[in-house]
Homo-oligomer: A and B are copies of this chain.
Amino acid sequence: MKSLNIVKIGGNVIDNQDALNEFILAFSKLEGYKLLVHGGGKIATKMAENLHLKTKMIEGRRITDDHMIDVITMTYGGLINKKIVSQMQCYGINAVGLSGADGNLILSEKRSKKDDIDFGWVGDPKQVNGKWLRSLIMEELVPIIAPLTHDGKGNLLNTNADTIANVVGVALSSFFDVSINYCFELNGVLEDIHNQSTLIKDITYEKYQILKKNGVIVQGMVPKLENAFDAIQKGVKGVRIMNHRSISKLEKEYYDEFTTIH
């Protein structure tokens, strides 16, 4: 099977125009089949502020009410997505921007209330149209996926970008040798979060259990790694956690510069 790199960039890259430009150029040079999933960053929060809408967060999660889903649809599905696409086109990459509603790409279930907390228009993916995505990729198109899915009932749903990278990776693993590359601000998983030289170069499931037990892996990294092991178990070949600047080194396999999960 041919290889496919799925790259996920988070909010910190989106929020920084220089970092985003640098990333898009590096991504455009990456050879072989590829696909990008982007997060939303602070643009939605800032836009909501400008529109005098209050952003409600509970346990670090955005409450997506009727107004907020519109802001998210505009900023993630419109502004961020189309800007990335047009810039990719400038670098000769035939990008196509998609939400999960387009081509019924990702069908989700609206998250139900939990402990009386209503997250609103938030969705958890349950079905990916991998066959169509494959056909786009085989036509040399590069999908740029926004963190938006739909419920099949006419509603758009705010959806975690890591989760999208994950489910898309699993769906495409029947057709490609899939690697998922989660890019963020650090070099990878660190022993000491304040010291980039303490990079843990590879993590097996056994090692992860120990690192978690010892309090080395905490907070946001826990669901990221759980997602990674889940994807590997479901057919994804490899998962890397890395800095967005390392994307240019993916082909050269500088395994020293990021964390490989296997």
Give the B-binding residues of A (Cβ under 8 A). 47, 50-52, 70, 73-79, 81-83, 85-87, 89-90, 94-99, 101-104, 132, 135, 139, 141, 148, 150, 152-156
Contacts and interface: CB of A to CB of B under 8 A. Distances in A.
B82 A156 contact: yes
A73 B83 contact: yes
Contacts of A148: 82
Given A90-B154, A152-B89, A103 B99 contact: no
B85 A102 contact: yes
Nearest to A79: B74
A89 B74 contact: no
B77 A89 contact: no
B73 A89 contact: no
Given A83-B156, A156-B82, A89 B101 contact: yes
Contacts of A96: 98, 102-103
A120 to B, nearest CB: 16
A104 B88 CA distance: 10
A91 B124 CA distance: 21
